[in-house]
Structure 1
Amino acid sequence: MDADEAQARGVYAPMPTLSYGPSGRVGVAPGDVRGTVLIPERCDGYCLGLDGRDGPNLACEGCGQAVATRVDDCTLWQVVWLDPRAVRPVSVEGPARRVVSWEALRKEHPGMPPVEQPGWWSPVWTAAVAVALAHLLAVSGGERVAVPYGPVAEAFRRAIDILLPPGPPAREVVLAGPGLSVTVTDIALVPRHPQTDEVWPTGARAAVPLAADVWTYMAFHDDRRLFPAASGMPEDVCRDDPPPLWPWSPFRPDWKVFLSTLARLPEVRQPWLRAVYDQVSERRYQHPFS
């Protein structure tokens, strides 16, 4: 595929593979799919499962038509991609889906902790931060960016130190969104609505979207280490029982998600950002991704 054809598909940098499948596919959890069977001759995969390399590998149990592609291979997210050429949405009786307001977002999506047992970084966090990191580099213009202390710094500062030029910060990124009374004039790190995909509106010069569950945790969770108290504590004081989980390694964004996101941003055609893309592509297992 030449550069013009790739650009027409929304890709602005070289990628090892590019799907020729139809646009508008819908990804669902494998457990939510009913009435399908595997197509045996299309069940190849790279390692120990299915990766969809041979096209749709799920057929309708009733008529035998290929309807979806199941992905379930080593290092890949488990998903079923419904083929828009074979399936269509059908209205069902029942209440309409309630869209959570921005004001209720914190209550109904309280945030996902970044660390899982036994000290692994959550893959949701490594993927979400990788997406936001690509957007952050794109809006930085190649200038050094300062980030606030706390979870934002833990997730982004190491990558910024490595991928952006050294020197004093010329730009600043600040958390902004529902429930925060802060004025941001430069770069705002804002939530992306988990239902509508809408990005929190901001008057900042640039906005960097972040998955709502990760943004909410960064904005409102207190990760400071706590000390034992000699006497009783008020009920509203943050307690350390059970103690919080701590990671066994520095935070590492997902390099695959980072490259895939960056390749789809027109800004990657700028020489400095293309150099970052090529550097990570060639040395993907080095810092900050390893």
Structure 2
Amino acid sequence: MTVELKRTSCTPAFPRNQDLDPPPFMAPGQFAVDTEPFGRDGIRRTIVINEGDVRALVYRPDAASGCCGYTGDDGPNMMCEACGRPIATALDDCGMAWSSVRLDPDAIQGAPPPPP
């Protein structure tokens, strides 16, 4: 689902700007666990990643979008390319504070650690 990632704190990696394109919330190669409720269902412990770190996910064809990108207002808008299960929400519409992808913690599992 992603490139190899290192955990960091759930704080913005880049300052917010006033441009139409929101800056990324996470730096490439990093992830954070957000303990606050997220989205319409109030999911806790979403895994926040940089959009560029996504692999094997595609946008749902029926996913609602905003003006220039995705808002996540209708729940998960990305699905597993292999099985079609909705597992992530991309947030990258113009005017948003930051862009990110949030993985549903109940829909994914981490890779096993590398051998010693």
Normalising by the smaller structure, the TM-score range is: 0.5 to 0.7
What residue number does 1:103 align with?
none
Question: What SS does the corresponding residue of 1:51 show, helix, strand or coil?
Answer: coil
Question: What SS does the corresponding residue of 1:67 show, helix, strand or coil?
Answer: strand
Provide Cα deviations, 1:218-244, integer angstroms capped at 9, x if missing partner: xxxxxxxxxxxxxxxxxxxxxxxxxxx
Counterpart-to-counterpart distance in 2, 1:21 and 1:59: 19
Counterpart-to-counterpart distance in 1, 2:70 and 2:115: 35
Percent identity between matched residues is 39
1:84 to 102, 105, 112: 105
TM-score, structure 1 length as denominator?
Answer: 0.25
What residue number does 1:70 align with?
90
Question: What SS does the corresponding residue of 1:49 show, helix, strand or coil?
Answer: coil
What residue number does 2:62 align with?
41
Provide Cα deviations, 1:212-269, integer angstroms capped at 9, x if missing partner: xxxxxxxxxxxxxxxxxxxxxxxxxxxxxxxxxxxxxxxxxxxxxxxxxxxxxxxxxx
What residue number does 1:188 align with?
none
1:52 to 59, 67, 72: 72
From the superposition, tell whether residues 36 and 44 of structure 1 become closer, same or farther in structure 2 (CA, over 3 Å): same
CA positional deviation for 1:40: 1.9
What residue number does 1:270 align with?
none
Counterpart-to-counterpart distance in 1, 2:69 and 2:44: 24
Letter in 1 for 2:110: P
Larger helix share, 1 or 2:
1
TM-score, structure 2 length as denominator?
Answer: 0.60
User: Runs ≥4 in structure 1, deviation > 2 angstroms?
Assistant: 18-21
What residue number does 1:160 align with?
none
For this pair of structures, how many residues does the alignment match?
79
What residue number does 1:176 align with?
none
- Structure 1 or 2, whichever has the larger Rg, is 1
Letter in 2 for 1:67: I
Counterpart-to-counterpart distance in 1, 2:41 and 2:82: 27
Counterpart-to-counterpart distance in 1, 2:109 and 2:44: 14
Counterpart-to-counterpart distance in 2, 1:69 and 1:21: 13
Q: Choose between structure 1 and 2 for higher RCO, CA contacts under 8 A separated by at least 6 residues.
A: 2
1:22 aligns with 2:57: no
Contact persistence 2:40–2:75 (CA under 8 A): no
Counterpart-to-counterpart distance in 1, 2:53 and 2:106: 19
